[in-house]
Structure 1
Amino acid sequence: MFNLWKNLSVVKKLYIVVGGMALLIAIELGTLVFALSTLSSVRAFVGGEGLWSKAQKNAIHSLSSYIFTKEKHYYDDFHEHMKIPNGDRRARLELMKQNPDISAVYAGFIQGGVHPDDIPGVIVMLRRFGEVSYIQRAVVAWTEADELLNVLIEKSEELRKLFAQPTVDADEVKRILAEINVINAKLTVLETEFSNVLGEGSRWLERLLMLLLVLAVVTIEGTGLFLTFSFAKNLNRSLLELNAATREIGQGNLGITVPVHSADELGELARSINKMSHDLDVNISQRLLAENANQVKTLFLANMSHEIRTPLGIILGMTEILKDPHVSEQEKRKYLDVIESTGHNLARLINDILDITKVESGHIEVELTGVKLDSLMEEIESMMHLKAAKSGIALSFHMQPGLRGIEIATDHNRLKQILVNLINNALKFTSEGSVRVDLGRAGDDIYFEVTDSGIGIPEEMQSRLFQNFFQVDSSSTRKYEGTGLGLVLSRKLARSLGGDVVLKRSTLGEGSVFRLIIPHHEVSRGTSVEPVKVSEEAKAGLQGSRVLIVDDSEDNLVLIQHYLKKYQVLCDVAMDGIDALEMTEQNIYDVILMDMQMPRMDGYTATRKLRERHYPAPIVALTAHAMKEDRERCLNVGCNDYLTKPIVSEQLYATLLEFTRKDGDSNAPERVK
């Protein structure tokens, strides 16, 4: 047993010490609660007996007064006093049944004068401890006393009938009075026995509970001292040895060996130091691996710089061309389309980088909604059809018939993001031929297979395909552009959904098959949510709304005003939080769009001050900070909602409609939370 304890890990030792003491303390607390509740029940039982006894004595006194005065109100007083023992008897008889009516028990005890808060304790005493000898003896005395009370009631009836006669037989009255006195004496004996029995039971219970508490305290203290002493002794010895060993290693003595006394963390630390002193001679290879990893990261950053600068160069170049007054309207439209497409690609690249960061830091957001598989396939097909057509690639979608109409619980946006990444990859590496997307079921999982007839992946590269910062072709003369983020991000996102992305097969020159697997989770009620759709009719409902736009960027102010004035929204602007506070003192707005990072006073401070003033308008954070913690920070300071830059016009309209719509406005879109 000692060796087993010695070899346990430090964490397990602490768990055992803390858990054992917590268990013992819980037992002690449970014992105390049991003691208090039981003693309270005994007190309630004794209190009920006191009321019973007092009522019985008052009843006999009233009956005696009735005998001597023959006044009827004493007879009535007798029966009034008898209601208390009669109520207790009703409750006792009901509790003796196999399935008692608790409401009837309550009614009986309330008639018996027992306080409603004490009734549960009395019931517990009679039902839970009914087999205990003390309770059995008390109930026997109670039952015998009730039988005597029945006789007493009969004597009262005899007296009533006797006094109703024209001539009262004095001898008969004396006989009944003598019998009443005998009954009273017997009741006194039974009441005394009842009280003595409960007293004995209370003292026995007190001694038992005290013994249990003492044993619990002694066990807790003894166990804690023993475990603490043995743990501290081993810890002190091991730390002294480890300290001496590290000092020797620091001085260059790599042949030092630390004694290993146990298999816990301290023993493992000793082994690690021994191994470290041995491995210091051979760490050159590890240093080379680190240098190689740095080279890969450097290459990745260089590639990322190229991928970001390329669309930026296109956007800036096209913008310069648009300034030329000789450019025709048709050419301007073409250049604007290029700028829009390039901007979307740049935003997607930044989103991929952010998603990788979120996954690596554990902040990836997964929102489960109801996703209809056939609707998802149609949505992606409409998205990718034009790109495939421009590349001259035949893109087809196929679904097992049994999956039509099926709805699963997953993250709609993340699932779509993975599929779009896989299909984009397939289209990019397929110069001619086709890309096929299959949806099917395998056991409890749903799978999507993306098959292309492209260049394929060399066998020696396939094992490294999902590594960070990896590309099959990383040379400066590579044919295919890209960051190398798509596949690794897709796998990480799929695993966050409980699934995976794998390379099913790939042949050089013939193409590849990637499979996405996600679990088939049933949709619970309230999970299925339709995406936001804002109709032109709904947008027209924004007309006349008054909005304050707070942003230090004039370009953003121009852009947002353009979106809003298109639907006759009245716009005021402020360049920072101080200007916003001044304007809200003079005006009440329907919505405030608040940039969060501004000079002089930022949006967080401005929002907090507005809420301190109880300003009623909804405040929507509009910021380029897109991490989960940024959203939470905005909501915590008082924002009602959160939108990210670059601004998506449809999302902006939907948010404004939510906060400006009137009750009963059927045109307002439902929000997805």
Structure 2
Amino acid sequence: MKILLPGLQVQSPNYFLWVLVSLLIILLVVLIFAFLLKYKVDVTTRALWRRNRQLTLAKEKAEENERLKTIFLQNMSHEIRTPMNGIIGFLSLLKQPDLDAESRQKYIDIVSKSGKRLLTTINNIIEISKIDSKQIEVRNTQVDLIEILNFYYNFFLPQAKERKLEFRLNCLIPPEDATILTDKFILDNILTNLINNALKFTKQGSVELGASVMEKEVLFYVKDTGIGIPKERQNAIFERFVQANLSMTRAHEGSGLGLAIVKAYVEILKGKIWLESREGEGSTFSFTIPYVPSEAPQEPDTDAQQEKLETETLKILIAEDDNISFLFIQQLLKSPQITLLRAKDGSNAVELARRNPDLSLILMDIKMPLLNGIEATHQIRQFNPSVPIIAQSAYTFSGEQEQAIKAGCNDYITKPINKNILLQLIKKYTQQ
């Protein structure tokens, strides 16, 4: 038995201290491990949350796209069937033997408007397809901005008057700065869509077309006093399958593709487009394209050309296999001063061109049996390099125009043929 004497201290064994330190180290390691494990779990949880959020957004986006595509297809069906019903229905009414002259003219006007509406829808579908397949290539040529603005002002003025709207042109471009290098076809499509939209959605008031030249850009705008666009729809108005009004009871016809095409075309030209609008007060669509100046072409002697046009006789070869298309062109060019020859296929066109070296012009269809228009043009150029050849086609996909020009065609016109454009081209190439 040990007796503890006063003043003596009991010392703990050395191993006790080591055990305590070891326990503390183990506890620290466990805490660090637990902290790292919690951090890893938190990181994984956040990643899973983000992934789930992305999947949810993707699912919502897919559902929204599906909904918009359904609406789009419904609109397309409506926009195709409605004018077709008008065309077929009123053509059948025109067959009535006892139809009076006033009703006949009214029905003809309805058929014409329905045809134009159907053509606009088809053109929009084709343009969207070309944009999606990246078949749009920029082909810069000399473009006179003042001439283009005046053309569209005069072109849409009758339509504005018919709707009892004021149509104004505000061109602030000096003549010396008016000639630039850009793609005229794309610019035409942009302006046509914007002006058409402005007129369509304006019931009263005015529409204004304007343009000005800045340092490195050309600014265009189309301003109207129409229905305007709700603020919550303005960010989406340029998107595919989207309209300002997605309801099934729309007050205005149209596929809703026009502004999507406009936006795509502006971006192809490396420009920008934006919108300012207030619901019930109107909208202003503005866009810019790069300003690339070019020397102005020499002005032709208009008076001399007009005098020559009125007195000269023309001999024109129409290479066209489709009977209806030929009859239409025949009516467009019906004149005592114009002699028309017809070829129903490419081989026949080459033979008629060989037998008639005095041809004033050839209107060459691209798609024909036996020999297509491209190859027929190539063969004609081997024995007649000077006769003007204008290619015509109902196909508008990229590459065809270049092939026609490369084969030897002087110019290109698309079907359905516009009478004014055709006459301008004939005048251009026969009134030298």
**TM-score, normalization by structure 1:** 0.49
Secondary structure of 2:58's counterpart equals helix
Q: Evaluate the alpha carbon distance shift between residue 599 and residue 376 of structure 1 in structure 2; reply closer, same or farther with a 3 A threshold.
A: closer
Conservation of the 8 A alpha-carbon contact between 1:394 and 1:435: yes
Conservation of the 8 A alpha-carbon contact between 2:135 and 2:397: no
Conservation of the 8 A alpha-carbon contact between 1:355 and 1:364: no
Residues 333-352 of structure 1: pairs in structure 2 closer than 5 A: 333-352=105-124
- The aligned counterpart of 2:279 is 508
Conservation of the 8 A alpha-carbon contact between 1:368 and 1:527: no
- The aligned counterpart of 1:620 is 390
Mapped partners of 2:210, 2:411: distance in 1:
38
Mapped partners of 1:305, 1:597: distance in 2:
28
Secondary structure of 1:484's counterpart equals coil
Mapped partners of 2:354, 2:212: distance in 1:
60
Select which of 303, 324, 328 maps to 1:555.
324
Secondary structure of 1:628's counterpart equals coil
Secondary structure of 2:288's counterpart equals strand
Query: CA shift at 1:308, angstroms?
Result: 2.9
- The aligned counterpart of 1:648 is 418
- The aligned counterpart of 1:629 is 399
Conservation of the 8 A alpha-carbon contact between 1:449 and 1:515: yes
Mapped partners of 1:309, 1:538: distance in 2:
47
Q: Evaluate the alpha carbon distance shift between residue 410 and residue 303 of structure 1 in structure 2; reply closer, same or farther with a 3 A threshold.
A: farther
How many residues align structurally? 380
Q: Evaluate the alpha carbon distance shift between residue 653 and residue 533 of structure 1 in structure 2; reply closer, same or farther with a 3 A threshold.
A: farther
Partner AA of 2:85 in structure 1? G
Mapped partners of 1:444, 1:610: distance in 2:
44
Conservation of the 8 A alpha-carbon contact between 1:548 and 1:589: no
Deviations 1:282-320 (A, max 9, x none): 757535533542442343233223223333333333433
- The aligned counterpart of 2:342 is 573
- The aligned counterpart of 2:28 is none
Query: CA shift at 1:410, angstroms?
Result: 5.0
Secondary structure of 2:190's counterpart equals helix
Partner AA of 2:144 in structure 1? V
Task: Name whichever of 428-437 and 556-565 sits farther off.
Answer: 428-437
Partner AA of 1:321 in structure 2? L
Q: Evaluate the alpha carbon distance shift between residue 524 and residue 577 of structure 1 in structure 2; reply closer, same or farther with a 3 A threshold.
A: closer
- The aligned counterpart of 1:460 is 232
* Structure 1, gaps ≥5 residues long: 1-274, 662-667
Does residue 482 (structure 1) correspond to residue 254 (structure 2)? The answer is yes
Q: Evaluate the alpha carbon distance shift between residue 502 and residue 366 of structure 1 in structure 2; reply closer, same or farther with a 3 A threshold.
A: farther
Residues 216-615 of structure 1: pairs in structure 2 closer than 5 A: 283=55, 286=58, 289-360=61-132, 361-373=134-146, 376-398=148-170, 406-411=177-182, 414-437=186-209, 439-440=211-212, 444-504=216-276, 506-521=277-292, 523-526=293-296, 537-540=307-310, 543-545=313-315, 547-581=316-350, 583=352, 586-588=355-357, 590=359, 591-610=361-380, 614=383
Query: CA shift at 1:650, angstroms?
Result: 3.6
* Structure 2, gaps ≥5 residues long: 1-46
Mapped partners of 2:303, 2:196: distance in 1:
26
Mapped partners of 1:379, 1:465: distance in 2:
28
Deviations 1:473-523 (A, max 9, x none): 22321112112122222223333344322013x2333333322334444x3
Q: Evaluate the alpha carbon distance shift between residue 594 and residue 365 of structure 1 in structure 2; reply closer, same or farther with a 3 A threshold.
A: same
Query: CA shift at 1:436, angstroms?
Result: 4.2
Q: Evaluate the alpha carbon distance shift between residue 332 and residue 296 of structure 1 in structure 2; reply closer, same or farther with a 3 A threshold.
A: same
Conservation of the 8 A alpha-carbon contact between 2:215 and 2:291: no
Q: Evaluate the alpha carbon distance shift between residue 365 and residue 348 of structure 1 in structure 2; reply closer, same or farther with a 3 A threshold.
A: farther
Partner AA of 1:307 in structure 2? E
Mapped partners of 1:573, 1:536: distance in 2:
27
Query: CA shift at 1:279, angstroms?
Result: 6.0
Q: Evaluate the alpha carbon distance shift between residue 366 and residue 330 of structure 1 in structure 2; reply closer, same or farther with a 3 A threshold.
A: farther
Query: CA shift at 1:569, angstroms?
Result: 2.5
Deviations 1:37-80 (A, max 9, x none): xxxxxxxxxxxxxxxxxxxxxxxxxxxxxxxxxxxxxxxxxxxx
Conservation of the 8 A alpha-carbon contact between 1:369 and 1:529: no
Mapped partners of 2:309, 2:166: distance in 1:
37
Partner AA of 2:281 in structure 1? E
Secondary structure of 1:621's counterpart equals strand
Conservation of the 8 A alpha-carbon contact between 2:223 and 2:285: yes
Partner AA of 2:405 in structure 1? L
Partner AA of 2:180 in structure 1? A
Mapped partners of 2:354, 2:213: distance in 1:
60
Residues 133-144 of structure 1: pairs in structure 2 closer than 5 A: none
* Structure 1 or 2: more strand by fraction: 2
Query: CA shift at 1:356, angstroms?
Result: 3.5
Partner AA of 1:625 in structure 2? Y
**TM-score, normalization by structure 2:** 0.72
Mapped partners of 2:402, 2:238: distance in 1:
32
Mapped partners of 2:152, 2:127: distance in 1:
20
Query: CA shift at 1:529, angstroms?
Result: 7.3
Query: CA shift at 1:557, angstroms?
Result: 1.7
Mapped partners of 1:417, 1:370: distance in 2:
14
Secondary structure of 2:161's counterpart equals helix
Q: Evaluate the alpha carbon distance shift between residue 623 and residue 286 of structure 1 in structure 2; reply closer, same or farther with a 3 A threshold.
A: same
Secondary structure of 2:247's counterpart equals coil
Q: Evaluate the alpha carbon distance shift between residue 406 and residue 526 of structure 1 in structure 2; reply closer, same or farther with a 3 A threshold.
A: closer
Higher RCO (C-alpha 8 Å, min separation 6)? 2
Mapped partners of 2:362, 2:154: distance in 1:
35
Mapped partners of 1:485, 1:472: distance in 2:
11
Mapped partners of 1:297, 1:635: distance in 2:
38
Conservation of the 8 A alpha-carbon contact between 1:549 and 1:593: yes
Conservation of the 8 A alpha-carbon contact between 1:542 and 1:567: no
| Percentage of matched positions with identical amino acids | 32
Mapped partners of 1:585, 1:647: distance in 2:
26
Secondary structure of 1:642's counterpart equals strand
Mapped partners of 1:584, 1:541: distance in 2:
24
Conservation of the 8 A alpha-carbon contact between 1:465 and 1:471: yes
Secondary structure of 2:333's counterpart equals helix
Q: Evaluate the alpha carbon distance shift between residue 473 and residue 528 of structure 1 in structure 2; reply closer, same or farther with a 3 A threshold.
A: farther
